């Protein structure tokens, strides 16, 4: 699994969301690296990491634990956004001794209804040929009904090759595993929970974490505190980075091992 590591101190593992890469939480990583060893990863099927035919949260959590083993780290504070938050929660529930504290950004430990059909349709219908450019790719995504902010984010996955462009991410693999990505199926009993400090941060204008998720969160993460960043949606870490970074850094400082 591709990763970058910088800084010194208690380790912090940062995990990005669907269609992202290790640069998504780079801003947060720069802040935390002043006092911590920060490891940013490309989740399998994303960025420069290996492509998997099948991905689910137990296997992704195992991959993160194997990375800690590779780095000879007994545990780390783990921060995840969206899908990365689910990977972080799976790590905490399946491998609690490896997680010092947990920060989950705008996702709940529940199954969601599909909500990326427009994105997948736009990505799969983009034809790469010798005339493809970043501009034409952006125009295609916009005409597919994808908003400009999301389209610009998705285009970070474009990489140039000899014949033009291709996707870095394993698009077919993500489509194949999408039901597992939006699901929440772990091989644990209903009473298993993570009994260490946990912080949930939600965007005030996001619908990913709502009041109806409260009981699911409390049952699985009883030592949870919650923060809302008003004026942000699902991309809260990019929309108000100073506030987001401060909240995460203060939580980790308060919960050093």
Domain boundaries, the chain: 3-112+184-254, 117-176
Catalytic site residue 97? no
Nearest of 26, 32, 28, 87 to residue 61 by alpha carbon: 87
User: In the prediction, which pLDDT does 161 show?
Assistant: 84
Specify the pTM.
0.96
- Angle of helix 134-143 versus helix 117-124 axis, rounded to 10: 140
Q: How confident is the model at residue 129 (pLDDT cuts 50, 70, 90)?
A: confident
pLDDT at res. 123? 95
| Catalytic one of 77, 81, 234, 237 | 234
Is 234 catalytic? The answer is yes
* CA–CA dist 208, 248 (Å, integer): 19
What number is the average pLDDT over the span 249-254?
Answer: 97
The CATH code belonging to domain 3-112+184-254 is 3.40.50.1820
Q: Which of 36, 46, 81, 82 is catalytic?
A: 82
């Amino acid at each position: 699994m591709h990763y970058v590591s910088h800084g010194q101190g208690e380790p912090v593992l940062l995990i990005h969301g669907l269609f992202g890469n290790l640069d998504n939480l780079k801003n947060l990583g720069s802040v935390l690296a002043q006092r911590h060893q920060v490891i940013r990863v490309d989740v399998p099927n994303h960025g420069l990491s290996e492509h998997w035919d099948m991905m689910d949260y137990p296997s992704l959590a195992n991959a993160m634990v194997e990375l800690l083993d590779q780095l000879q780290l007994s545990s780390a504070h783990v921060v995840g956004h969206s899908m990365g938050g689910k990977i972080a929660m799976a790590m905490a529930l399946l491998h609690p001794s490896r997680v010092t504290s947990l920060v989950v950004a705008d996702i709940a430990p529940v199954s969601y209804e599909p909500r990326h059909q427009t994105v997948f349709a736009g990505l799969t219908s983009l034809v790469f040929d010798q005339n493809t450019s970043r501009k034409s790719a952006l125009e295609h995504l916009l005409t597919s009904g994808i908003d400009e902010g999301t389209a610009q984010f998705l285009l970070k996955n474009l990489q140039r090759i000899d014949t033009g462009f291709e996707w870095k991410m394993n698009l077919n693999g993500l489509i194949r595993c999408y039901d597992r990505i939006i699901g929440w199926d772990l091989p644990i009993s209903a009473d298993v929970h993570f009994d260490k400090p946990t912080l949930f941060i939600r965007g005030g204008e996001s619908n990913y974490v709502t009041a109806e998720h409260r009981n699911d969160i409390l049952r699985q993460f009883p030592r949870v505190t919650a923060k809302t960043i008003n004026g942000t949606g699902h991309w809260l870490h990019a929309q108000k980075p100073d506030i987001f970074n401060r909240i995460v850094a203060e939580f980790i400082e308060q919960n050093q091992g």
